[in-house]
Amino acid sequence: MCLAIPARVVELLAEDQAIVAMDGVRKQISLALVDDVAVDDYVIVHVGFALSKVDQDEAEQTLAMFAQLGINDTSAT
């Protein structure tokens, strides 16, 4: 099963790249599909790409639900 997971942008890099934080893991992703992303924004990440921005409350609710379900392995995103 593939999941798209909310992640917080912690650093912007050159060439539409960013570092995001997910469940204590930092990962480099592409921002090529999303405009106007800033540090501390939340994005939905799937297979190394940000698909869209999401507000902080929605991101935190989704992450809390994943934690309740025991879905906290972000290594596959």
Domain ranges across the chain: 5-69
Q: Is the pLDDT of residue 75 over 50?
A: no
pLDDT in tens, 21-59: 987 899 999 999 999 999 999 999 999 999 999 999 999
Confidence of residue 72 (pLDDT cuts 50, 70, 90): low
Rounded to two decimals, the pTM is: 0.83
**What is the CATH T-level fold of the domain 5-69, as seen in this structure?**
SH3 type barrels. (2.30.30)
The more confidently predicted of residues 10 and 70 is 10
Alpha-carbon dihedral angle through residues 65, 69, 72, 74, given to the nearest 10 degrees: -80
